[in-house]
């Protein structure tokens, strides 16, 4: 097991922060009003000592009390190692197999399009454009505003303009020499034109200028267009994770 990969998992938790967390015998329980699974799930990253059956039941009760299903994020670093099998036997469903990908920033290609805006704090224009491109609800945007304002390390919110319109947006967060990429969205009507690639190159260039040496991102493993894009830029898979869900959820 590559120790850097577990660090990337820690960065991913830090840089997409929940609104509140509960530490429970080595597990990190995250809550963010149901906005994305990664911010509303259990990350069993650290060693456990309590009875496993009781711990799972307690997690279910805590999430139910917060009107949320119990969701467990399964990575190569889980404790105990057989947790995924235990959850499967309990009827938890496996969803959203995700590829965590990394790349070095030493040979970045130069972007061709140059009309971009990068701000270091979430602002209303970025939220409005993300909401339009992602078709996000006002409720989700309100929660995201609160979550993104809680990031404690350097961050860059990027908008890429083409023909006077915002056509792509994203977020980069820098910690421990890595820039993590989040909320990468391209206008559905302008996809397959290289615009997402241009926006990402600008964001990586900004990260490198601000001390990042490497990058990481998460992409759902069956998203073939995104996988092709990230491979073209230079990302390769480091490891995979997925979620075990107490019933089907969206988001």
**237 pLDDT exceeds 90?**
yes
Sign for the CA dihedral angle at 199, 170, 119, 117 comes to positive
pLDDT of residue 3: 67
- Give the residues across from 105 on adjacent strands: none
CB atoms within 10 A of CB 14: 15
pLDDT of residue 191: 81
pTM recorded for the entire structure:
0.92
Enumerate the domain spans of the chain.
3-98, 107-212
Q: Is 18 helix (H, G, I), strand (E, B) or coil?
A: coil
* Token pair listed for 45: 């990253």
Displacement of CA 86 from its chain's centroid (Å):
25
Helix 224-233 vs helix 195-209: angle between axes, to the nearest 10 degrees? 50
The pLDDT tens digits for 132-181 are 999 999 999 999 999 999 999 999 999 999 888 999 999 999 999 999 99
Q: What CATH superfamily classification does 107-212 receive?
A: Gcn5-related N-acetyltransferase (GNAT) (3.40.630.30)
Residue 49 CA to residue 191 CA, distance in Å, equals 49
Residue 183 CA to residue 130 CA, distance in Å, equals 8
Average pLDDT estimate for 6-31? 95
Provide the pairing of β-strand 214-220 with 178-186: parallel
Region of residue 55 (phi > 0: left; psi between -120 and 50: alpha; otherwise: beta):
alpha
The pLDDT tens digits for 45-54 are 888 889 999 9
């Amino acid at each position: 097991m590559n120790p850097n990969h577990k660090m990337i998992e820690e960065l991913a938790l830090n840089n997409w922060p929940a609104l509140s967390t509960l530490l429970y015998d080595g597990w990190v329980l995250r809550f963010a009003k149901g906005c994305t699974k990664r911010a509303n799930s259990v990350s069993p990253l650290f060693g456990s000592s309590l009875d496993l059956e009781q711990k799972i039941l307690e997690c279910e009760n805590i999430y139910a009390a917060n009107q949320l299903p119990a969701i467990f994020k399964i990575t190569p670093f889980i404790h105990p190692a057989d947790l995924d099998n235990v959850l499967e036997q309990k009827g938890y469903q496996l969803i959203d197999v995700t590829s965590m990908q990394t790349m070095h920033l030493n040979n970045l290609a130069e972007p061709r399009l140059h009309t971009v805006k990068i701000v270091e704090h979430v602002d209303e224009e970025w939220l409005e454009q993300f909401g339009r491109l992602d078709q996000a609800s006002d409720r989700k945007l309100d929660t995201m505003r609160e979550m993104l304002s809680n990031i404690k390390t350097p961050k860059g919110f990027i908008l890429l303009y083409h023909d006077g319109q915002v056509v792509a947006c994203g977020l980069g967060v820098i910690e421990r020499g890595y820039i993590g990429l989040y909320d990468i969205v391209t206008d559905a009507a302008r996809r397959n034109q290289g615009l997402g690639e241009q926006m990402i190159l600008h964001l990586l260039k900004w990260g490198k200028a601000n001390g990042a040496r490497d990058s990481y991102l998460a992409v759902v493993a069956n998203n073939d267009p995104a996988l092709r894009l990230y491979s073209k830029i230079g990302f390769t898979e480091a490891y995979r994770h997925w979620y075990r869900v107490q019933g089907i959820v969206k988001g």
